């Protein structure tokens, strides 16, 4: 109980908040997001609208507390402090739920839970899946009169994690590596490094096992388990093949800057495609790939190919070759995402748009 009293008396950090495309509007909300995706900033901003005596903020990752004991005493503490109107509990794990059953009947105006476990769900709680910054959110951190090409180069250099936006580009890699060391064990980091070499490519857990078994003590089962955990924790996402007979999947990072923070060998196309993938996450649509198409959004019937630098004439030749396949998929629009090129062409009801990334992303 003393721990809860100490936390109750502690002031909330007062930091500048830049609006996101997410808002806490439900009386009960669970925010799910990867490490450093902005969960805490969203919570702090909401709590700032309450008086200090009306709010209780708990970070379960605080090593000074016994999380099980603290949660076991939470109901009694809230009953004794009826002036508390809003409760925020960060970094909840599935194992903690046993002590929080009382929340469904708690007499509070608002309850906010955050977690890094993407499979976690709570009955009666509105869910916010918090992605890293999209491009439009990222550029809000910079002066409005900056050149679009310069802003895009900043985005590529810094990545889409919030803290990275405030760093010099030379500091981003060290910062991200420090985050990984603080949150993952050596085996998981080794597996993540292997994933980085396969960004925007099909991934094989067995292939990773073969590469690592000569370097570290590892088993096939541990590789499969670690990859699933990296996905469950929001580090990586998989894009399946549209062909149902294929089990192959391509891998992407939710923070695209991780690719170069884990791998010295540069691959601009892989990073560029990963940037595009991260922008597509806002659609909440099913994303697939085919042999010819990088991303196919099944609900929107939208096909996307990442071509950073090729001339429009070459792209349109490819479009003509793909036309029959696009028609078969029911695609009405093919978008070619470029660094700077812009053009369009239509063939028999299917439009091919070549768009620079900045214009494309801001138009989503």
- Nearest-5° angle of CA 277, CA 279, CA 281? 75
Residue carrying the six token digits 């100490």? 6
Given a contact cutoff of 8 angstroms between Cβ atoms, the answer to whether 317 and 328 are in contact is no
Q: What's the confidence (pLDDT) of residue 159?
A: 97
Given a contact cutoff of 8 angstroms between Cβ atoms, the answer to whether 20 and 83 are in contact is no
The greatest distance separating any two alpha carbons of the chain, rounded to the nearest whole angstrom, comes to: 72
Q: What's the confidence (pLDDT) of residue 191?
A: 98
Q: Which positions ≥6 away from 288 have C-beta within 8 Å?
A: 239, 240, 241, 242, 295, 296, 298
Tokens standing for residue 227: 């990859």
Q: Which positions ≥6 away from 272 have C-beta within 8 Å?
A: 156, 306, 308, 337, 339, 357
Q: What's the confidence (pLDDT) of residue 141?
A: 85
Ranges of residues in the chain whose predicted pLDDT is under 70: 15
The pTM (predicted TM-score) of the whole model is: 0.93
Q: What's the confidence (pLDDT) of residue 111?
A: 98
How far from chain centre, in Å, is Cα 219? 28
Domains of the chain (ranges, CATH numbers): 2-130 (3.40.50), 134-273 (1.10.10.10), 285-364 (no CATH)
Q: What's the confidence (pLDDT) of residue 338?
A: 98
């Amino acid at each position: 109980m003393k721990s809860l009293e100490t936390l109750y008396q502690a002031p909330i950090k007062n930091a500048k908040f830049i609006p996101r495309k997410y808002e806490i509007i439900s009386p009960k909300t669970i925010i799910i997001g990867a490490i450093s995706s902005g969960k805490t900033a969203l919570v702090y901003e909401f709590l700032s609208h309450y008086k200090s005596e009306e709010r209780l903020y708990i970070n379960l990752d605080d090593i000074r507390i016994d999380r099980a004991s603290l949660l076991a005493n939470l109901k009694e503490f809230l009953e004794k402090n009826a002036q508390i109107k809003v409760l925020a509990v960060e970094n909840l794990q599935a194992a903690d739920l046993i002590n929080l059953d009382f929340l469904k009947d708690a007499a509070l105006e608002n309850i906010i839970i955050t977690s890094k476990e993407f499979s976690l769900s709570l009955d009666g709680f509105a869910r916010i899946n918090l992605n890293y910054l999209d491009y439009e959110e990222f550029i809000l951190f910079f002066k409005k009169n900056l050149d679009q090409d310069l802003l895009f180069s900043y985005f590529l250099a810094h990545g889409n994690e919030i803290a990275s936006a405030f760093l010099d580009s030379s500091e981003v890699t060290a910062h991200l590596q420090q985050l990984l060391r603080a949150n993952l064990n050596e085996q998981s980091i080794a597996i993540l490094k292997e994933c980085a070499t396969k960004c925007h490519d099909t991934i094989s857990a067995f292939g990773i096992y073969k590469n690592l078994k000569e370097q570290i003590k590892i088993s096939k089962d541990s590789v499969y388990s670690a990859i699933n955990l990296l996905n469950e924790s929001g580090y990586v996402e998989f894009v399946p093949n549209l062909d149902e007979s294929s089990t192959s999947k391509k891998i992407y990072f939710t923070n695209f800057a991780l690719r170069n923070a884990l791998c010295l060998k540069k691959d601009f196309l892989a990073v560029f495609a990963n940037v595009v993938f991260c922008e597509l996450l806002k659609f909440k649509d099913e994303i697939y790939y085919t042999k010819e198409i990088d991303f196919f959004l099944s609900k929107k019937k939208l096909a996307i190919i990442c071509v950073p630098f090729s001339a429009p004439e070459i792209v349109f030749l490819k479009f003509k070759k793909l036309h029959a396949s696009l028609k078969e998929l029911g695609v009405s629009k093919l978008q070619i995402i470029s660094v700077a090129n812009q053009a369009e062409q239509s063939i028999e009801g299917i439009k091919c748009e070549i768009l620079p990334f900045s214009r494309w992303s801001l138009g989503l």
